[in-house]
Each structure stands twice: as C-alpha cells, then as structure tokens.
Structure 1
Amino acid sequence: MHLHKIFYALAHPDRHITEKQFYKVMARVGDLLGINYLGTHTMRKTGAYRVYTQLNYNIGLVMHLLNHSSEAMTLTYLGLDQASRETMLDQIDFG
C-alpha cells in the first residue's frame, strides 16, 4: 500500500506527492500532536489493522495488500502476538 499516492500535490493536482513529502507531512503532524513515533508506516499499519478487523480478520487479504510472504509476518507486523490473539478470542461471545 503506497499511502502517499492518495495525496495530490497542491501545485500539480494531477500528480501525487512523493514519499519524502508524505514523510515530512506525517513528521510535522506528529510534532504538532507531540507524538514522536508518527511516521509513514503509522498510517500503513493502522490501515492494515482496520482492514483486518473490519473484514472479519481476513489475514490473507491484508497479507496480500502489504505484499508479505507469510501470515506470521503479517500478524507480527500488525502487532498481533499470541497473547493479543488470545485476548481477542476471549472477547468473542459464543452465545
């Protein structure tokens, strides 16, 4: 997922901003919010996690979107270790 390609340059509305420009925007927003870890991957990871949860934990789709070679890699990238997966499972109401 190349998130910088969803933003267009103000001076050239027919062109996307560059990855470097996107990084600068994210870094500035992080500075304004007092968040020192906000970067280009923040939106990528957040977007991927939202796709994962909103599409009923479709790890295969998220894996494909992120161009990962394994489900384990994608789960690790999303920060879903065994303990957090078990916590998620504990929240399911089986009736």
Structure 2
Amino acid sequence: MISEGNHERKERAAVANGERNRRLYGSYERRRVLVYKSEGYKSPIIPTQAYRALVKAGDVLGRDDISTHTMRKTFGYAYYRRTKDLAFLQNIFNHSASSITKRYIGITQEEIDETLKDFSL
C-alpha cells in the first residue's frame, strides 16, 4: 500500500521529469509524427509503439540491431548524402561539434574528400 507521503513524492518526481523532458525534447504535440495509422485509430502511434514494431520486424528478419535509433541515424546519413548540410544535422541532433555528427552518421573523411573531388566554382 502506498502512503500519502510516498504518493506525493512520486507525483512531484513525475511532474519534474515531464518538465525536464519538455525542456529537452519540446512538447509532445510538437514531436509527434504520424508514422503509422491503423484503421479505427485517429492518432499517430507513440515512440514506444514504433520501437516495438521495429524490434518485431528485426526479429522477423533475424536482426537485433534495428530500433528507432537506427531510423534517426539513417535519416541523418541520407539527409547528409542528399544535401551535404552538416550544420543543420548538428543542430537537429543537438551535437556540440560537427565531428560528433560525422561520426554519428558514419561519414568518413574519405567520403567527404570523394564528394569534393570533382567540385569546382
């Protein structure tokens, strides 16, 4: 049985965590993206549901390295390959340095050199 004092502490902690998450990630409404909408449901799935769906798909494929984080890194890699805008990715990933972003999305110096090889003004 939970005592009133313990319940109040848990409630305060939950509120503090919610406020911290809003500061770090923005409001839930702003972060929601419609990933998948099944019939009968009017709202997008939440990140936990997306994670579970991806893990299940990975299990079917015999892979244990697929998650929502994989999607984030894949987006970063594809965006960089298309736009070469490392500063934008650094900003949306909240990295402190472009070198961190390059390492995060798997861009090596050789790939950068190859991309710039035929560039001219």
Normalised TM-score (structure 2): 0.61
Larger RCO: 1 or 2 (CA < 8 Å, sep 6+):
1
2:99 aligned with 1:72 = yes
C-alpha displacement of 1:21? 0.5
2:58 aligned with 1:30 = yes
| Contact map agreement 1:3 1:44 (CA 8 A) in 2 | no
For structure 2, the residue ranges without an aligned partner over 5 or more in a row are 1-29
Structure 1: how far apart are the matches of 2:103 and 2:35?
Answer: 28
| Number of equivalent positions | 90
C-alpha displacement of 1:78? 0.9
Deviation readout 1:35-71 (Å, 9 max, x if unpaired):
110111111100111000100x210011122222221
Match of 1:12 in 2: 41
Bigger proportion of residues as helix: 2
Whose Rg is larger? 2
RMSD of Structure 2 on Structure 1 (CA): 2.6
For structure 1, the residue ranges without an aligned partner over 5 or more in a row are none
C-alpha displacement of 1:18? 1.2
Deviation readout 1:21-43 (Å, 9 max, x if unpaired):
01100101111111110111111
C-alpha displacement of 1:88? 4.5
Q: Percent identity?
A: 29
